Amino acid sequence: MRVADFFCGAGGFSEGFRQAGFDVCFAVDKWIPAVNTYLANKPQCNVILDNVISISKLPDEEFHTLVPDTEVIIGSPPCVAFSNSNKSGQGDKTLGIELIKAYLRIIARKKYKENSILRYWVLENVPNIKKYLQDQYSASDLGLTGDFSLKVINDSSGIYNAKYYGAPTNRKRFLCGEFPIPQKTNDENQIMSLRTVVESLGSPLDQEKEIIQDCNYPNFQLPRDEVTDHQYIYRLQPFEWKTAKRLKEDKGYMGKMSFPENLDNPARTVMANMSASSRESMILSANDGGYRLPTVREAASMMSFPIDYKFYGQSKGIKHTLVGNAVPPKMSYAIARAIAFDANETIPQGYIPIRHDATIPFLNLNYTEFEPKVEQPKRDVSKFKYHIPYMIINAYRVELTNYHSNFEKKKFRWNAEIHYSQGKDKAKVYRPRKVENQIPQKLKASIDQYIEQMRPCFCSYNFFQRIFCMTETQRKEQELIGPYELLEYVKKFIISSIPSEELSCNVKVSNKLPEVPMAILAGYHILDQITKEMGGSNNGCCYKKSKTGRVANQ
């Protein structure tokens, strides 16, 4: 059976069909690295560089001449618009919806043409897309003539997780169209772990492992030197992994994530942007006790690409994008297998190695040395919003923020706030004016003494902004206290001053503010007093403690 692939990307969707014995004969994408990668791994296919929207609107004769008639059409329109990671799911959906309609327009034109041979079609995207799909589309909905109605949501439509089809990744995707339901190959007790991927490939700098066994395809192995894009280390610097660690383990109201990755679970969803300093960063332990990013090959194996699949990007970042945007081949193989059974087609036994197009230039990252990233100062109008670290009690947290500044005029203001929970219905922000009367006298005396000791470190709002925008190294060299350091100091004081059994004891503040934990009330009072005194500092000076313990004017 023949297959056409739209928005083909690096070819993950087609790869599963290739392995199942289908004839993948036509593919299209508008990104050159994707087209090169697809063509190099599937040289028998007609791969074109073009815009799917434009193709979908071609005149009939030109359209059917360009796009061959096939029994199967698959497609994975770009999912950025619909992803929850795009502005927390609030990104503009206009282009995304147009791409979906372009794909459905192609399906309709092939399905309802005279003597059509199209029997199966599949649309793959992020789960969030379901909210923007109609159950069916009329001809006019798709800008076509006719009286047909294309049914998009069928019995097989739903959210599928790649980990249940043999891929070592917890990657959920929404599938719809006309295809039989694929059978799961793995249950919760058989799911492949990230450890299996890492150990099968071996350490990136391992010189002893001469043969690499493909964890996804047990009957396939390659000599170590033939496995591309794995023999290198992208080591993270402290400022990178510290940021990621803080966001993973202490991201306000959001749940805690593993740092580094938990190797005993399937890999989390592989992202197109292999970032180093975000909550979604995928970080592995390095052999020297530090941390590193996964290699391109590790990411590809997490996605269930075979180890002989090559990614034709001219940089590490492009290669990661090719991998992260793909459909896991194991998931597409399950779909292809279900279609083959339904059509009484024979499926090849065992993995069929790839025959690459050797004429396409390939950059192998093996043995590449990457320069350590150097922390850069932040923009002078950078925003800050963070809470006292690892101190979220009964959904309450105390935040320090400069969000109330006039950033256009560069007149900065720092405030303390009490935050409660999350979401439109539950989230609350409190800025009580006076709370010291609700704090026990003994603790208040300790707080007053602590603030007095900290007073030489106070500075104006604007200077505090300047400190925040410095690098961590600059702050350390000049012994300056920025927002992160201040929050850490306040946390240490609270832990040392309030007995552990009293940290979460509730205190009534006012009619507007319900009972809050003592640690939250104390933290807010300290930061509120400090920021108010900063507001009274107009001379722009900042003080620090010298190594001798004396106060020095900066």
In order of start, what are the domains of the chain with their CATH numbers? 2-190+320-342 (3.40.50.150), 194-302 (no CATH), 385-553 (no CATH)
Set 79, 215, 459, 542: catalytic member: 79
Q: Which residues of 361-384 are buried (b: 16+ CB within 10 A; e: fewer)?
A: ebbebbeeeeeeeebeeeeeeeeb
Query: What's phi and psi for 398, nearest 5 deg?
Result: -110, 125
Cβ neighbours of residue 160 closer than 8 Å, sequence gap 6 or more: 172, 173, 174, 175, 182, 331
Residue 512, pLDDT score: 79
304 — alpha (psi -120 to 50), left (phi > 0) or beta?
A: left
Helices (H) and strands (E) in the chain, counts: 15, 21
Q: Which two tokens stand for residue 418?
A: 């009490």
Element (DSSP H or E) covering residue 494? helix 483-497
What was the pLDDT predicted at 510? 81
Return the sign of the alpha-carbon dihedral for residues 535, 538, 544, 545: negative
Query: Contact, 496 vs 443, CB < 8 A?
Result: no
Q: pLDDT tens for residues 100-150?
A: 999 999 999 999 999 999 999 999 999 999 999 999 999 999 999 999 999
CB contact at 8 A, 182 and 124: no
Residue among 50, 13, 2 nearest 28 (CA): 50
CB of 351 closer than 8 Å to CB of 217? yes
Distance of alpha carbon 48 from alpha carbon 45, whole angstroms: 9
pLDDT at residue 205, as a whole number: 87
pLDDT tens readout for residues 428-459: 999 998 888 899 999 999 999 999 999 988 99
Cis peptide before 260 (omega within 30 of 0): yes
DSSP result, 286-315: -TTSSEEPPPHHHHHHHTT--TT-----SS
Cβ count within 10 A of residue 209: 14
Q: Is 79 a catalytic residue?
A: yes
CA dist., res. 195 & res. 197, Å (int): 5
Report the distance separating Cα 303 and Cα 315, nearest Å.
Answer: 19
Question: Of 417, 230, 206, whose CA–CA distance to 310 is shortest?
Answer: 230
**Residue 216: which of 466, 488, 372, 12 has the closest Cα?**
12
Which amino acid belongs to residue 441? Q
Q: Which residue ranges of the chain lie beneath pLDDT 70?
A: 79-92, 252-253, 537-554
Q: Helices 329-342 and 12-19 meet at what angle, rounded to 10?
A: 50
Burial label, 481 (beta-carbon count in 10 A; 0-12, 13-18, 19+) = buried
Question: In which region does residue 236 sit, left (phi positive, over 0), alpha (psi from -120 to 50) or beta (all else)?
Answer: beta
> What is the predicted pLDDT for the residue at 434?
83
Q: Are 329 and 352 in contact (CB under 8 A)?
A: no
Report the SS3 class of residue 417: strand
Which of these, 260, 264, 267, 268, lies nearest to 242 by C-alpha position? 260
Q: What amino acid is encoded at 328 in this protein?
A: P
Q: What is the pTM of this model?
A: 0.90
